[in-house]
Amino acid sequence: MSEPSRRPGRLGVGVVGAGRVGAVLGSALRAAGHPVVAVSAVSAESRERAEQLLPGVPVLDVPEVVRRSELVLLAVPDDALGPLVAGLAETGAWQAGQIVAHTSGRFGVGVLDPARAAGVIPLALHPAMTFTGTSLDLTRLVGASFAVTAPAPVLPIGQALVVEIGAEPVVLDEDARGLYHAALAHGSNHLVVLVAQAAQALAAAGVDDPGRMLAPLLEAALDGALRAESGPAAERGVGAISALTGPVRRGDAGTVREHEVALGALAAASGAVDVVAGYRALARSAAGRALAAGLISPAAASDVLDALHDATQDTAAAQSPTGIDPGLGSLDQDETTDRPEDDE
């Protein structure tokens, strides 16, 4: 078998943004035989990351990276992507026939329109995984899914690049990118929040190592839900909710009511009102989805929802004289912009 770098169709890759995503993907493309000709890195962390994952690759400013590259990989924060593409277009940096791929989940290829006007080949390649910015990610890329969006004539180029690094391309329409990215953020980011809330409650209950206690339970629950979403339950239109266990699945309204009282006391003592609000919202959703899937009876679902309503009133009454700001840590607070993994 020939060396990867000697295979036909190798491209000189320039990585714009040596954040956790850019440096790893650049390294993966390099391992597939595409020489990385230049990388941009601003912060000390990104320079160190470039040195570790892309040793020997010159660190240059963005226009020079673009000038040297046949394939430009734009791995920058979402809000910076559009202005960067437009700014490079204004200076005439883009070259006809150049492949330009960005890694944003939020955008399709429309954000690359200023570059397309110069004759580039536009690709949107978003890995549906989180990154540590270390060599560990290279192993995790194998088998990971990438959302690939591109004009039909050049779609095979994007798919081939993903396959070359061992990942799985999933073709996604331009108009679906927003919903796609919201789904990933809702699943991954809010899973982290859920773990944080459960761990806080366990710590308040006196558990010394909440992470250790949660690990086997949550890993089993997640594995069961994901398997159900890809198995016969999904084919029946039930999916992950078929893996639901616990008091809502049993229609145990009394336990649900006691849970809310206990979490309400935690909120009153610590100000962590987001924990009880999160429990309430997810329990309501669990009851509704379990009912729709035929896992619980209408009567059981009604009892659970009534218990949540009753406990809401009890919690409000218990918290009203405490002086705790009901907006503190709640789900209604203005969200801080989530900085993408590609931290350049």
Give the pLDDT of residue 234: 75
Q: Residue 332: inside a domain, yes or no?
A: no
Q: Residue 291: inside a domain, yes or no?
A: yes
Residue 262 CA to residue 276 CA, distance in Å, equals 9
Q: Give me the residues of the chain with pLDDT under 50, please.
A: 1-2, 5, 317-344
Give the pLDDT of residue 237: 74
CA distance from start to end of the chain? 37
Number of domains in the chain: 2
Whether the Cβ atoms of residue 248 and residue 290 lie closer than 8 Å to each other = yes
Its domain, for residue 250, covers: 179-319
Whether the Cβ atoms of residue 100 and residue 112 lie closer than 8 Å to each other = yes
Give the pLDDT of residue 320: 43
Whether the Cβ atoms of residue 46 and residue 23 lie closer than 8 Å to each other = yes
Does one domain contain both 185 and 266?
Answer: yes
71: left (phi over 0), alpha (psi -120 to 50) or beta: beta
Q: Residue 192: inside a domain, yes or no?
A: yes
Residue 18 CA to residue 15 CA, distance in Å, equals 7
Does one domain contain both 11 and 140?
Answer: yes
Q: Which pTM was predicted?
A: 0.83
Question: Which pair of tokens denotes residue 129?
Answer: 């995984």
pLDDT per residue over 278-329, tens digit each?
999 999 999 999 999 999 999 999 999 999 987 555 555 444 433 333 333 3
Does one domain contain both 153 and 224?
Answer: no
Classified as helix, coil or strand, 100 is strand
Residue 93 CA to residue 315 CA, distance in Å, equals 60
Q: Residue 29: inside a domain, yes or no?
A: yes
Q: Residue 327: inside a domain, yes or no?
A: no
Phi, psi of 121 (to 5 degrees): -100, 115
Q: Residue 100: inside a domain, yes or no?
A: yes
Give the pLDDT of residue 7: 57
Q: Residue 82: inside a domain, yes or no?
A: yes
Give the pLDDT of residue 232: 82
Q: Residue 187: inside a domain, yes or no?
A: yes
How do beta strands 145-149 and 121-127 pair? antiparallel
Residue 138 CB-density burial (10 A; 0-12 exposed, 13-18 middle, 19+ buried)? middle
Give the pLDDT of residue 6: 54
pLDDT per residue over 203-236, tens digit each?
999 999 999 999 999 999 999 999 999 878 777 7
Q: Which of 130, 123, 124 is nearest to 144 (CA)?
A: 130
Q: 153: domain CATH number?
A: 3.40.50.720
Does one domain contain both 122 and 225?
Answer: no
Does one domain contain both 132 and 110?
Answer: yes
Give the pLDDT of residue 206: 97
Long-range pairs for 195-199: beta carbons < 8 A, 24 or more residues apart: 197/272, 197/274, 197/275, 197/278, 197/279
